[in-house]
Structure 1
């Protein structure tokens, strides 16, 4: 019986010892959850890197869309005042043209008729003017009636008005009125470039008929490219002249371009509740094409804050952590997980609100994301 009691006491002692050992092991494991150890070899192979908090700029941004455009005076639609058939159009889309350069030749017999009318009425003017002066003199001397005088005056001034009107029409058609007065008629008119630029549209072929309302060519002068942005009504009061705009052409390039808000519209589009915002490019001669779609960010209220690179921060559940160097020896790097309070983010950095906890400390800024997610 005595032996049995001794055995029970020994078993109880062993049980208590095991329980204490397990409790100590559990406490050790709990502490180790916040510690990550990396060997020197792993550190080098994974190209890990230590760093510290840095000061970075964070901004409120307004995301908008827009297009590349030019001012109205840098775009010209070429059309004709009178319809006709295309006789010659040597230009193609992309051709550079200078102001005054021949663009297209149009032919129509109506052009001849118009010149004939001008020549005839102009020829009559000398006679009508002479008759008007004669009747005026006779009327002033009470030799003829007022009726005859007024009739002569009306005929002369009516013919003069018609002549002047036809003369202006011929000038608009690029036909020299003096040449027509000398009997030199033409069935063709030439259209010339109104501005310097590049041909962006050609809507005709040789032999095709064009009416006065038809657009024959479009010319765009790319010397003053700008960004035409569409901003929703809810954001428009945040937009001010002089704000920085960062934009990309997603379909063409990853390059980021800069612009500056120049004009903010004061009329809301009733259909989609948006306002137009005009921005000047930093580089007006950038390799961009009118009509390109742009994704832009308008920078609003920037500030400088303590931050860490995005790749230095890992998330566990809804919380964010970094690895702070706790100890370093010949074989290992020992890091401690530290919880972060984060603020604003951009493509490269995350704002750290509890920066006082990390000031002066070395932090794993490259390779931490993998270790934190493994943990």
Structure 2
């Protein structure tokens, strides 16, 4: 009976030890992955952008509102030089046209009058030249005076001047090869931004342009400068421009000129920024926000790009990066910020690398692996 009891106790002890060993193994299995570093997947890693923590002078941002406008130096309104009927209009609003491209044809009686005047002048000039030859010959034979010779020469000169003038006037209409047809050629390359001409339309004397061509390779950003901001806005100042269409993109430029007279309606000075627009992202009529960095001599501080900052639980963080399997969450203390940088105290060191895209995704993954 004793042996049975001892055997039973021994069996129970072994069972307890086995359960403890099994539980320990399961606990090790559960805790082991938590000690591993989080490695950023390759597909996410390819889309990451980074920035260095730098020591910078503390600058604040002055923001101005404004609009995108045509470059007036590269915008041509076209007015009709004659009255008549539009035979054809070979373009539409918004079309891109090249310099010298045929845009429209107009039938006009004015053009016939110019051609009639040119022909009449040509005939008179031929007669005057024959008369000059005759008088010159008679002068050499002593049958004509010097005065008569000079009058004949003057008649030829007057008619030649009149002929060149008539020919130049006719050349404006590009209509030498078509009877009574005024051909309108594009005066420059660019986009048709206004249009009032249509086929069959009767043209009369008007102050309204038939169309306007604007070259949009560069545009003007017209910033509104209020009196309280005048002392900060100066020619050649570097600016960054943002639009609602591209809120995450900053267009860099310089203030080229500042008006010396307040706009009568808006009571602001207008500052002009000539902006490169080869990608056609800036369209006239768009609203724009213009940012100037102001140096107030407040010293220097560590700076990180604004898009690296993560705000969570009333604290600010950044994610530092060494390689795909080594990142850290660092708490920072912001001092001030401008449109581009946040100036911070502590948490990171100059030269360290922070993540500026998908930083929130990496931040959450790192928290899940703690």
Q: TM-score, normalised by structure 1?
A: 0.61
- What is the aligned partner in structure 1 of residue 272 from structure 2? 277
Once the 2 structures are TM-superposed, how far is the Cα of residue 304 of structure 1 from its aligned partner? 4.7
- What is the aligned partner in structure 1 of residue 289 from structure 2? 295
- What is the aligned partner in structure 1 of residue 39 from structure 2? none
- What is the aligned partner in structure 1 of residue 214 from structure 2? 220
Deviation per CA, 1:162-214: give whole Å up to 9, x if none. Answer: 111110011111133xx6xxxxx611111111222222111122222333743
Is the 2:96–2:192 Cα contact (8 Å) retained in structure 1? Answer: yes
Once the 2 structures are TM-superposed, how far is the Cα of residue 131 of structure 1 from its aligned partner? 1.0
Deviation per CA, 1:269-299: give whole Å up to 9, x if none. Answer: 4633514232434x63242212322121122
1:144-163 equivalent positions in 2, closer than 5 A = 144-163=144-163
2: CA distance between counterparts of 1:140 and 1:306?
Answer: 97
- What is the aligned partner in structure 1 of residue 82 from structure 2? 82
2:182 aligned with 1:186, yes or no?
no
- What is the aligned partner in structure 2 of residue 263 from structure 1? 256
2: CA distance between counterparts of 1:172 and 1:349?
Answer: 57
Tell me the SS of whatever aligns to 2:160: helix
Task: Identify if the C-alpha distance between structure 1 residues 83 and 311 changes in structure 2 by more than 3 Å, giving closer, same or farther.
Answer: same
1: CA distance between counterparts of 2:69 and 2:268?
Answer: 21
- What is the aligned partner in structure 2 of residue 248 from structure 1? 242
2: CA distance between counterparts of 1:199 and 1:144?
Answer: 63
Once the 2 structures are TM-superposed, how far is the Cα of residue 268 of structure 1 from its aligned partner? 3.1
- What is the aligned partner in structure 1 of residue 336 from structure 2? 344
Once the 2 structures are TM-superposed, how far is the Cα of residue 260 of structure 1 from its aligned partner? 1.6
- What is the aligned partner in structure 1 of residue 199 from structure 2? 206
Is the 2:121–2:162 Cα contact (8 Å) retained in structure 1? Answer: yes
- What is the aligned partner in structure 1 of residue 131 from structure 2? 131
Is the 1:231–1:277 Cα contact (8 Å) retained in structure 2? Answer: no
Once the 2 structures are TM-superposed, how far is the Cα of residue 348 of structure 1 from its aligned partner? 8.9
2:315 aligned with 1:305, yes or no?
no
Tell me the SS of whatever aligns to 1:222: coil
Once the 2 structures are TM-superposed, how far is the Cα of residue 141 of structure 1 from its aligned partner? 5.5
Which of 219, 226, 236 lines up with 1:232 in the alignment?
Answer: 226
2: CA distance between counterparts of 1:221 and 1:171?
Answer: 25
Task: Report the count of equivalent residues.
Answer: 275
Is the 2:97–2:191 Cα contact (8 Å) retained in structure 1? Answer: yes
1: CA distance between counterparts of 2:200 and 2:348?
Answer: 78
Tell me the SS of whatever aligns to 1:129: helix
- What is the aligned partner in structure 2 of residue 59 from structure 1? 59
Q: TM-score, normalised by structure 2?
A: 0.61
2:104 aligned with 1:104, yes or no?
yes
Task: Identify if the C-alpha distance between structure 1 residues 192 and 64 changes in structure 2 by more than 3 Å, giving closer, same or farther.
Answer: same
2:212 aligned with 1:196, yes or no?
no
Is the 2:235–2:258 Cα contact (8 Å) retained in structure 1? Answer: no
Can you give the 5+ residue segments of structure 1 that lack an aligned partner in the other structure? 1-53, 180-184, 315-320, 324-339, 361-365, 367-375
Is the 1:224–1:285 Cα contact (8 Å) retained in structure 2? Answer: no
Once the 2 structures are TM-superposed, how far is the Cα of residue 255 of structure 1 from its aligned partner? 3.6
Tell me the SS of whatever aligns to 2:134: helix
Tell me the SS of whatever aligns to 1:149: helix
Is the 1:226–1:279 Cα contact (8 Å) retained in structure 2? Answer: yes
Tell me the SS of whatever aligns to 2:212: strand
Tell me the SS of whatever aligns to 1:65: strand
